[in-house]
Chain A
Amino acid sequence: MELEPSHYPAQRAAGVARACISYRRGECTDIRDIPGTGHKYHLEFTLKDTVQEVSFNCTAEVLYHLGSQHSAPEVHFTVEGELGKNPDDADNKFYSRIKSLKEPLVAQNIPDSFGIVPPEMEPIRHLAFSACDYIIWQNSTENTWYNLAQIQDVRQVKRNDDYLEFDYTVLLHDFVSQEIIPWQMQVLWHPQHGVKVTQNSRQPK
């Protein structure tokens, strides 16, 4: 069945592909051998890196598994060009700044009610987008369409090693049900090693 690009199911699948590609890059190709019970979407779209202002053409296949036990959609993709990047100046500055804080960083409501993000919170927000991509990828079905609506709360957890750690409570907006879903996630980050979600759980409304 061919879907028009305007159709939300295609949009949602593309969202899943984007989330997966953005979070895990190489690891999205991890396949388990599963007999063909599910819905597969073939997609062609453009990924835009809004920080670096670069666009990439992508093709992807997203397979939603049917069945009572939810498992993350499988995503197979190809990208024209190099997605990976070395840590840039901004990443390093952010890393140094947080590492040198006397008190652990604590913040709420990013963006605030009026859409304002203080400049020093932008990297915290980018990190949340990346981490949410994992959660979105893992929890998407054909009947969900998640976006990060707001960071409700973020607290830094001081570590002895090189990683930065943050405990986020984010609000995800599911466009299909229109629900706002609080989600807790523990996020590790390092300029060279990237983002990792070590723990996450859906919270009660």
Chain B
Amino acid sequence: MNKVYFFFLNRDQVLRIRASSDDQIDKLQLLETLEHLQLDFWLHPSNPALPVDIRVPFGSLQAVRAFLGYHDIEYSILIEDVQVILNEEKQEMISNQRRERSNSNFNYGAYHSLDAIYKAIDDLAAEYHGLVSKLQIGESYEKRPLYVLKFSTGGPDRPAIWLDAGIHAREWVTQATALWTAQKIASEYGNDPSITSLLDTMDIFLLVVTNPDGYVYSHAKNRMWRKTRSKAAGSLCVGVDPNRNWDAGFGGPGSSDQRCSDSYHGPHANSEVEVKSIVDFIKKHGNIKAFLTIHSYSQLLMYPYGYKCTEPADYRELDTVGKAAANALTSLHGTSFKVGTICSTIYQASGGSIDWSYDFGIKYSFAFELRDTGRYGFLLPADQIIPTAEETWLGLKSIMEHVRDHPY
């Protein structure tokens, strides 16, 4: 969207048009040819799945409304008074001149510090401010903000998809993939029919760095750090495995009660503020329809259960969805993924996030384990970030489309 229009007249309006057929698209394309109306198409008519946005000069409003009414073409007023918006924009641009707002300089193919990731999140929310906003859902143990990106085209209480990455600090390709994915979702809206139709009815929430304390520690002190950084009186060892801390078979097999263990489950379920913040957010939202969590490494796509080795009630559907997503992922670079329940694919593991989300009622609960299978493991070279993110995107999209098309 081109925003530099300081010299146009007052009271231009931006109309959002929803064509319901190819025939209506033809009509809108005809409208484009009527130069005397001086229409400025922000989104051009191409196919009925995508909205058409037109900035209409004040003098042409009556004619355009008549045209749309005559052909029964639905529309709404997106911006009632363009000049007001322009004034606000100009203010913002002047006062933020030195601040880099565009994401086009950010290198998604590299590993970044937490500060750099948080800045990129801010820049993304600014660049796509009509679609993307940043929420804080809590604070980490060491008081770092937990930022979620919300992708929404409006409407209260829409059904939503939850995505998180970096619950385990050392899995660096996951935070990097999540950031790339955020940029991808934002840029695909209005361009990709599938994502556009998804965001027209659902919201997406994306937590890029679920465990910021651990992430910082893995940069500064110990690259192999996995857990949170919570401290307990009387213990030399720090941290809890946040993916053993959820209220699903908590404390059962596949988690450790030893504080120094890398799979220590913690003193009780939701003891870790990073976990509790997500649980509280999801409960409060009340309308989350999918819970997708991203880990590395191993190249797996898993669904519940981990805490018990029995199949979930929705086993057939989840397996079908998982296999379709894995096929979509593999189609890009040939990276093969195995699909199955956590218990049958890896091992029994209690207190995991997707077991909790599934038992809470979020049917579409999946966990990804990204590249590779052990050659580099956690130390995946940066030149694999973007290929990993690209292929993972196809898998995520496949699941999200199914969620969109199967409301419950």
Contacts and interface: CB of A to CB of B under 8 A. Distances in A.
A121 to B, nearest CB: 13
Given A6-B338, A7-B345, A178-B226, A115 B380 contact: yes
B261 A179 contact: yes
Interface in A162-176: 171, 173, 175-176
Interface centre among A7, A50, A178 (most CB of B within 10 A): A178
B260 A171 contact: no
Nearest to A117: B381
B11 interface: no
Nearest to A176: B347
A8 B347 contact: yes
A114 to B, nearest CB: 6
Contacts of B382: 114-115
A114 B111 contact: yes
Contact of B262 (A7, A147, A180): A180
B339 interface: yes
Contact of A180 (B224, B241, B345): B224
B340 interface: yes
Contacts of B376: 111, 115
B345 A113 contact: no
A175 B379 contact: no
A173 B377 contact: yes
Interface string A85-125: 00000000000000000000000000111111000000000
B344 A205 contact: no
Given A111-B379, A111-B381, A113-B379, A175 B344 contact: no
B103 interface: no
Contacts of B298: 175
A173 B347 contact: no
A79 to B, nearest CB: 21
Interface in B233-269: 241, 256, 260-263
B224 A6 contact: no
B169 to A, nearest CB: 12
A179 B260 CA distance: 10
Interface size of A as a range? 20 to 34
Contacts of B344: 4, 6-7
Nearest to B338: A6
B346 interface: yes
A149 B261 CA distance: 17
Contacts of A113: 111, 219, 223, 379
A177 interface: yes
A150 interface: yes
A173 B374 CA distance: 9
Interface string B334-352: 0000111000111100000
B205 interface: no
Contact of A205 (B260, B339, B340): B260
A147 B372 CA distance: 12
Contacts, number: 63
A187 B154 CA distance: 63
Interface in A123-171: 147-150, 171
Interface in B360-380: 374-380
A50 B374 CA distance: 13
A112 B380 CA distance: 10
B340 A6 contact: yes
B315 to A, nearest CB: 15
Contact of B379 (A8, A149, A179): A149
Contacts of B374: 147-148
Nearest to A15: B374
B261 A177 contact: yes
Contact of A149 (B224, B256, B260, B263): B224
Nearest to A9: B347
A180 B241 CA distance: 14
B379 A150 contact: yes
B335 to A, nearest CB: 15
Given A113-B379, A173-B377, A179 B262 contact: yes
A150 B384 CA distance: 18
A141 B83 CA distance: 71
B329 to A, nearest CB: 15
Given A6-B340, A116-B381, A179-B262, A171 B226 contact: no
A178 B298 CA distance: 12
30 contacts: A4-B340, A4-B344, A6-B338, A6-B340, A6-B344, A6-B345, A8-B345, A8-B347, A111-B381, A112-B379, A113-B111, A114-B379, A114-B381, A115-B376, A115-B379, A115-B384, A148-B374, A149-B377, A150-B223, A150-B224, A175-B346, A176-B347, A177-B262, A177-B263, A178-B226, A179-B261, A179-B263, A180-B224, A180-B262, A205-B260
Interface of B: 111, 219, 223-224, 226, 241, 256, 260-263, 298, 338-340, 344-347, 374-382, 384
Interface of A: 4, 6-8, 50, 111-116, 147-150, 171, 173, 175-180, 205
Closest 5 CB pairs of A and B: A115-B381, A147-B374, A6-B338, A178-B262, A115-B379
Given A113-B379, A114-B379, A173-B224, 13 more contacts: A4-B344, A6-B340, A6-B345, A7-B344, A8-B346, A115-B379, A115-B381, A116-B381, A148-B374, A171-B224, A175-B298, A175-B346, A177-B263
